[in-house]
């Protein structure tokens, strides 16, 4: 990431992340497909009605993991091994404490939150039985994202992929066993996910302790360093809060969808969102690569390399977006049918309409994510956070002013409109940043 062909370095680093994201989304999609095909539309809608809450929790855990690893990547880029190990030690302390506190808060507040976002009474119990399992084992999610983030910070994106593949295969097998053999319903899908993630964490930790001494701190590295903890907390929580605010907007948007009162709309939207997330993964992977690339080169003070790399990533966004758009325009109904497990015309219409309108905006979303992650990589904490607050305000406006009038069509246009506004803002602040303008 620090020398040689920029695009080649980015692609080599990104591919394992992309495959990891594909497998992660694959086993999330298999959850949905298995539930939809074995338990029916009501259970599928129950999981869909709390999907935004699940994304909120995952996003917060991922944000902390990525945020903490940015400091590690910067230390790696500067060649400061002692600071790197101290940052790893502090990251584990922050991660453990954070997961415990958030688990307690979420366990108390999750059911009132489901009610607040208009989960219908006939779906509430199933939705709660699914999401409470995820909440009670948040420490597993935090642990995996932190371990994977630290490995990627030093340029190793391959091993997190290996562990995730093992986890994904196990998750699918456990899904089928818990749902079809033990008849655990949607709760079985959640238990399968937690166990699979736990196995991934165990493999990840074993690998780090045996093969990556650079990421294994000694007792002295755990000594409290106020300046380091301030930097890690600022970086980790700014990224986590940014992600939480974005996903909180999705929770509010989900309340608008739930408030439409149609199981067909919820089922169609749930299936479409799974497909949207799948096709979004090439952009997410490049954004994660951008974070490490920018962080390491910031540590090495190689500004011109950052500028060149960002421009090459933008070209990548446009090309990949064009391919994704063509696929979704022509195959949306077939894909929605496969994911939802239904041939209901209303479900297929709504899911296909969502995909066909959102897909042409993938390039904008890719540029948005990479620029936002790059800002984090150069140490900017507040500007990306401000962007997420603006995004949240936009979703609130849509939910309370536009969805009641334009119904599901307003849901579909909500995020693309916000993406355009946010991308313009982030491009301006990134390229005007004093560090970037030096080149």
| pLDDT, tens digit (0-9, with 9 covering 90-100), for 116-146 | 878 888 888 988 999 999 889 989 988 988 8
Nearest to 266 by CA among 342, 189, 347, 334: 347
CA distances from 278 to 12, 27, 269, 359, 375 (A): 20, 11, 14, 12, 25
- CB count within 10 Å of CB 118 equals 15
Exposed e or buried b per residue across 343-382, where buried means at least 16 C-beta atoms within 10 angstroms of its C-beta: ebeebbbbbbbbbbebbebbbbbbbbbbbbbbbbbbbbbe
CA 378 to chain CA centroid, Å, is: 20
186 falls within a domain:
yes
Q: Using the structure block, give the residue that is written with the tokens 């366990």.
A: 107
Would you give the end-to-end CA distance of the chain in angstroms? 18
Average pLDDT over residues 185-203: 91
Gap between the Cα atoms of 133 and 197, Å rounded: 13
Q: pLDDT: is 48 or 87 the higher one?
A: 87
Predicted confidence band at 386 (pLDDT cuts at 50, 70, 90)? Answer: confident
The maximal CA–CA distance of the chain, rounded, in angstroms, is 63
Highest averaged pLDDT of the listed ranges 60-64, 153-157, 324-328: 324-328
Report whether pLDDT(296) > 90.
no
For the four alpha carbons of 267, 269, 272 and 277, in that order, the dihedral sign comes to: negative
Q: Please indicate, yes or no, if residue 81 is contained in any of the structural domains.
A: yes
Per-residue pLDDT for 407 more than 60?
yes
The CA distance from 433 to 37, in Å, is 50
The answer to whether residue 166 sits within a structural domain is yes
**Cα 127 vs. chain centroid, distance in angstroms?**
21
The whole-chain average pLDDT of the chain stands at 87
Looking at residue 25, its pLDDT comes to: 67
Is 254:116 a contact under the CB 8 Å cutoff?
Answer: no
User: Between these two residues, 157 and 414, which has the higher pLDDT value?
Assistant: 414
Span 338-356, average pLDDT: 89
Range of the domain at 132: 6-437
Query: What pLDDT score was predicted for residue 254?
Result: 80
Question: How many separate domains does the chain show?
Answer: 1
* Integer Cα distance of 389 and 38 in angstroms: 39
Please report, rounded to a whole number, the percentage of residues in the chain having pLDDT higher than 90: 38
Yes or no: say if 37 and 339 are a contact pair by the CB < 8 Å rule.
Answer: no
How far apart, in whole angstroms, are the C-alpha atoms of residue 289 and residue 266? 33
Q: Where are the alpha helices (DSSP H) in 39-50?
A: 41-49
Cβ density class 58-82: b for 16+ within 10 Å, e for less: bbbbbbbbbbbbbbbbbbbbeeeee
Q: Which residues contact 397 (CB under 8 A, 6 or more apart)?
A: none
Give the tokens for residue 346. Answer: 């209303």
Asked if residue 244 lies in contact with residue 113, where contact means CB atoms within 8 angstroms, the answer is no
Q: Are the C-beta atoms of 164 and 23 separated by less than 8 Å?
A: yes
Give the per-residue pLDDT at 283: 94
Task: Give CA–CA dist 308/301, Å, rounded.
Answer: 14
Residue 1 lies in a domain: no
Please check whether residue 258 lies inside any domain of the structure.
yes
Summarised one tens digit per residue, pLDDT across range 71-112 is: 888 888 888 889 899 999 999 999 889 889 989 998 999 999
In 3-state terms, what secondary structure has residue 300?
A: coil
pLDDT digits (tens, 9 = 90+) for 217-245: 999 999 998 998 988 888 888 878 887 88
Q: What pLDDT score does 121 carry?
A: 86
Instruction: Please state, in angstroms and rounded to a whole number, the distance separating the CA atoms of residues 403 and 415.
Output: 13
pTM of the model: 0.75
Nearest Cα residue to 209 out of 33, 88, 345, 368: 88
Work out the number of other CB atoms within 10 angstroms of the CB of residue 186: 26
Q: 2 and 302 in contact (C-beta within 8 Å)? A: yes
98 is written with which tokens? 């954070």
């Amino acid at each position: 990431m620090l020398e040689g062909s920029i695009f080649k370095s980015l692609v080599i680093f990104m591919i394992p992340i992309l495959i990891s994201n594909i497998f992660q989304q694959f086993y999330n999609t298999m959850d949905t497909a298995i539930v939809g095909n074995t338990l029916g539309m009501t259970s599928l809608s129950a999981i869909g009605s709390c999907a935004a809450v699940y994304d909120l929790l995952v996003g917060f855990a991922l944000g902390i993991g990525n945020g903490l690893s940015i400091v590690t990547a910067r230390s790696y880029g500067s060649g400061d091994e002692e600071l790197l190990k101290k940052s790893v030690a502090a990251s584990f302390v922050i991660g453990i404490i954070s997961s415990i506190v958030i688990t307690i808060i979420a366990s108390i507040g999750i059911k009132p939150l489901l009610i607040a976002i208009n989960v219908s009474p006939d779906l509430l119990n199933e939705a709660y039985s699914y999401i409470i399992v995820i909440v009670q084992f948040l420490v597993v999610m935090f642990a995996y994202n932190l371990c994977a983030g630290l490995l990627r910070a030093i340029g190793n994106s391959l091993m997190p992929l290996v562990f995730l593949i093992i986890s994904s295969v196990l998750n699918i097998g456990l899904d089928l066993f818990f749902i079809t053999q033990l008849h655990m319903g949607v709760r079985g899908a959640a238990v399968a996910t937690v166990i699979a993630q736990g196995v991934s964490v165990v493999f990840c930790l074993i690998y780090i302790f045996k093969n990556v001494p650079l990421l294994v701190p000694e007792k002295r590295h755990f000594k409290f360093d106020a300046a380091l903890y301030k930097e890690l907390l600022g970086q980790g929580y700014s990224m986590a809060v940014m992600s939480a605010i974005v996903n909180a907007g999705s929770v509010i948007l989900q309340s608008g969808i739930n408030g439409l009162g149609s199981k067909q709309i919820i089922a169609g939207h749930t299936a479409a969102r799974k497909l949207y997330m799948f096709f979004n993964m090439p952009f997410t992977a490049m954004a994660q690569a951008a974070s490490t690339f920018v962080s390491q080169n910031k540590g090495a003070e190689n500004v011109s390399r950052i500028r060149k790399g960002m421009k090459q990533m933008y070209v990548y966004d446009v090309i990949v977006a064009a391919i994704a758009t063509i696929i979704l325009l022509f195959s949306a109904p077939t894909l929605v049918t496969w994911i939802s497990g239904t041939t209901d015309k209303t479900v297929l219409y709504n899911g296909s309409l969502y995909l066909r309108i959102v897909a042409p905006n993938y390039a904008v979303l890719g540029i948005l994510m990479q620029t936002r992650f790059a800002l984090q990589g150069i140490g900017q904490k507040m500007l990306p956070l401000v962007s997420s607050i603006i995004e949240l305000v936009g979703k609130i406006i849509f939910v309370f002013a536009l969805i009641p009038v334009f119904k599901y069509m307003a849901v579909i246009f909500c995020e693309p409109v916000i993406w355009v506004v946010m991308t313009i803002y982030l491009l301006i602040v990134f390229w005007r940043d004093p560090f970037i303008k030096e080149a």
